[in-house]
Amino acid sequence: MTVKGGGKGGGRGAGSGTSRGQGTSKGTGPASGGGGARGLRVNVKTAGKRSVSSARWLERQLNDPYVAASKREGYRSRAAYKLIELDDKYRLLKPGQRIVDLGAAPGGWSQVAALRVRSLDGGDDKRGMVVAIDIDPMEPLPGVDFMQMDFLAPEADAYLKGKLGGHKAHGVLTDMAAPTVGHSRTDHLRIMGLAEAAGQFATEVLEPGGFFLAKVFQGGSEKTLLDLLKRHFSSVRHVKPPASRSDSAELYVLATGYRE
């Protein structure tokens, strides 16, 4: 499958490949690379108008093996590798599944999901579905039904359920993150608010055995979400894929085995 079109953040769609195993595998993935597209470290100077923080960001981007791999392999974001790594480990995505991707732009997770549930090229019985929304626009992706919409808007719930066409979903993914304001407590609470709303939504749309994967942040205030998930899923765990930067407080909660 060839996917064209740049999205928020630019880039191309993931190119041809098997529905699983694209991207990383233990010891051979981007994380094991030496940094920089050719293994050479790039240093960025704070010349001219560039601030120290933007120079630091640029230097990190240029030396990030996941950024290089996403360009090479046609993923719209380095975030794609977080889902690839988690799915390779926990075997969540399967051909024929219906998946909801919340906070999808620029589209890395949606690309991975579309490939793995085979929403474009599965036969009649193996063709999956990816329904995605984001508050920001996203360039179209084949095999992904995208709508620009605030997940917290009153109409989002009915819209997403309508897109599932009366069926239940096999998985709900949320990588939603509100723009940070730099105040860690506020940022944390905003992410948790999004994750809790997504968790509530998941308990309404998942079919028995379904899964929920959500971005959270380390540092308290997760009790409401965890209590909800423990009531409705047979397994709830925190996971941090190698692609999630070790110096970031980002963490994911993975709940599997949905039960009503």
Ligand X SMILES: C[S@@+](CC[C@H](N)C(=O)[O-])C[C@H]1O[C@@H](n2cnc3c(N)ncnc32)[C@H](O)[C@@H]1O
Q: Considering the complex, what minimum distance in angstroms separates the CB of residue 18 from ligand X?
A: 20
Measured N-to-C along each axis, helices 108-117 and 80-90 cross at an angle, to the nearest 10 degrees, of 40
Give whole-number Cα distances, 186 to 127, 193, 249, in Å: 41, 11, 14
Q: How many residues does the chain have?
A: 260
**Cβ distance 210 to 169 under 8 Å?**
yes
Catalytic site residue from 215, 223, 230, 240: 215
Q: What is the CA radius of gyration of the chain?
A: 18
Q: Which is nearer to ligand X, 106 or 241 (CB)?
A: 106
Q: Which is nearer to ligand X, 186 or 234 (CB)?
A: 186
Q: Considering the complex, what minimum distance in angstroms separates the CB of residue 152 from ligand X?
A: 5
**Cβ distance 132 to 146 under 8 Å?**
yes
Q: Which is nearer to ligand X, 1 or 152 (CB)?
A: 152
Q: Which two tokens stand for residue 59?
A: 């230097």
Residues that bind ligand X (CB under 6 A): 76-77, 79-80, 103-109, 133-136, 150-152, 175-178, 194
**CB-CB neighbours of 25 under 10 Å:** 12
DSSP, res 222: -
Q: Considering the complex, what minimum distance in angstroms separates the CB of residue 148 from ligand X?
A: 9
Alpha helices for 63-107 (secondary structure H): 65-73, 80-90
Q: Which is nearer to ligand X, 37 or 152 (CB)?
A: 152
In the residue annotation, 94 being an active-site residue is answered as no
Q: Which is nearer to ligand X, 151 or 233 (CB)?
A: 151
Give whole-number Cα distances, 69 to 17, 38, 85, 90, 244, in Å: 14, 11, 13, 22, 14
Q: Considering the complex, what minimum distance in angstroms separates the CB of residue 31 from ligand X?
A: 17
Q: Considering the complex, what minimum distance in angstroms separates the CB of residue 136 from ligand X?
A: 4
Known catalytic residues are 215
